[in-house]
Structure 1
């Protein structure tokens, strides 16, 4: 099969709501060839979070990197649709149907990892790679993470664009902007740091997603598909002991340590993360 040329596109489709059918629009990038692999980012981020690994993955998979509704280039969910799991997971199922993806492999980071596991629980996927997935926290850990995320969002919204661009030009500035989620923030490209700061600032689904997450705990086993849970050893947002809880909840999961990686490990060690995803989806 010939490799698919990278394309950025939008797809719109109908989902049910308490007020009747609503149209959801999602932006995505698709490239590569092979079995389908859906990539889901974390709260406040965008599909470009996966850029360091997409090229590696696309050599063996049909890769679809998604901007979740209300994040990145995807517009907010329409009136009548909440940002809770009961709404977003069916919306992702509708996305798969619209793109002709029959039970894709799914890899997700943070919020995306939780969504990937929820999709697996619903029987919608072939395999799951969950990188520092949300939902395995204690109440104190959840409060710490949410407070940190609100602070990051507040800082991003308070800074004018020229200040963001000036900070992004230096390793010290990039560290100040992104050290919460990366172990090696100084290695990030200045333009990428600017883009993700603007994505965090402009995320229309941020507040409602965070509010919906207050009661979220992932408590169910997922015995029907291969699952890998991977955690960065330097994750400062969701502490790595949460990976042990994930392993207790999903006993058949493979628990992988990502040495030297932060909360968004795709940038800290792209080769390692790509290998973990490909091994799980083989």
Structure 2
């Protein structure tokens, strides 16, 4: 999931179509190839983790068609499952996993219809109860019992529901979706839809040019990231491709309009809610609505982080996860 902040700013003006807005971005932001920041160098020493080949697992929950997900597994220790947000993919956790792998058996998944996972069979309902059922079957197939579950946005909401179902030994949710008012949901949906349309209309070469400079990366992802200029070009381009190619994008948005997405408490399960203080997609005050439902939840602000804190501050996010999963300070 990534946002073209400049595209959105133009697309929100009355009388402009998405195609006209994309044309504006091409004319004003892609006047030629920007200067490179230097081969192999990224600001602030960001490490680019090379992509790894996916493995695949099939979960068969009772009464459902099988669900297949792509995943990567690394490290040793208590199992920890990582769930990404809408329009994203498992590589969202690429800079965080190496910081967790010494303490945890980490499993980063592509949700169905995102990344390399095939979309759900049309007969499989796209609701949260069903997601919990097939994820439970996937956990069983992977031979993990009550893993720690960490989720971002859509993945954070699913992680909370897994905790309610007794399928997680701890839950860490980064800006979980679903704790919005009607107006906030419509705002978030409009931003995400405009972003996806913008990505689909911008030529690949334009995205590549923009991604090679800090200013271009800020134009591409400034609404999503708090420190967009620091995000490596490879990460920006991979994120935009994941958003563009997400087969389940529209159907997931439609499913999110139905009813109350979360209610009740999660007794007996440690819950951490972390939120970027610069989140422009799901404003950080929504964290207090989570706290009102789950009184024992620990709230952790992520200073200077936007909606995808894994890219803004991977070391901070890893530290929050390790604390939430009970890894002693100094052991990582």
**With structure 1 as the length reference, what TM-score do the two structures score?**
0.94
Question: Residue 253 of structure 1 corresponds to which residue in structure 2?
Answer: 297
Question: Residue 176 of structure 2 corresponds to which residue in structure 1?
Answer: 133
For structure 1, the 5+ residue unaligned runs are 1-5
1:217 and 2:261 matched: yes
Question: Residue 181 of structure 1 corresponds to which residue in structure 2?
Answer: 224
State the 4+ residue runs in structure 1 displaced beyond 3 angstroms. none
> Residue 257 of structure 2: SS of its match in structure 1?
helix
Q: Tell me the number of residue pairs that the alignment of Structure 1 and Structure 2 aligns.
A: 274
With over 3 angstroms needed to count, the CA separation of the structure-2 counterparts of 1:16 and 1:201, relative to structure 1, is farther
Question: Deviation string for 1:218-271 (max 9, x for gaps)?
Answer: 221111200000111000100000001111110000011111111111111111
> Residue 64 of structure 1: SS of its match in structure 2?
strand
Offset, 1:179: 1.5
Q: 2:252, 2:98 → 1: CA distance? A: 29
1:237 and 2:288 matched: no
Question: Residue 276 of structure 1 corresponds to which residue in structure 2?
Answer: 320
Which residue, 66, 83, 92 being the options, matches 2:126?
Answer: 83
Q: 1:165, 1:85 → 2: CA distance? A: 36
Offset, 1:7: 6.5
**How big is the alpha-carbon RMSD for the aligned residues of Structure 1 and Structure 2?**
1.3
Offset, 1:176: 1.6
Structure with larger RCO (C-alpha < 8 A, sep 6+) = 2
Offset, 1:15: 3.3
Question: Deviation string for 1:57-89 (max 9, x for gaps)?
Answer: 111000000001110111111120132212222
* Residue correspondence of structure 1 range 140-219 to structure 2 within 5 A: 140-215=183-258, 216-219=260-263
Offset, 1:116: 0.2
> Residue 15 of structure 1: SS of its match in structure 2?
coil
Question: Residue 45 of structure 1 corresponds to which residue in structure 2?
Answer: 88
> Residue 192 of structure 2: SS of its match in structure 1?
helix
Question: Residue 14 of structure 1 corresponds to which residue in structure 2?
Answer: 60
Question: Whose strand proportion is higher, 1 or 2?
Answer: 1
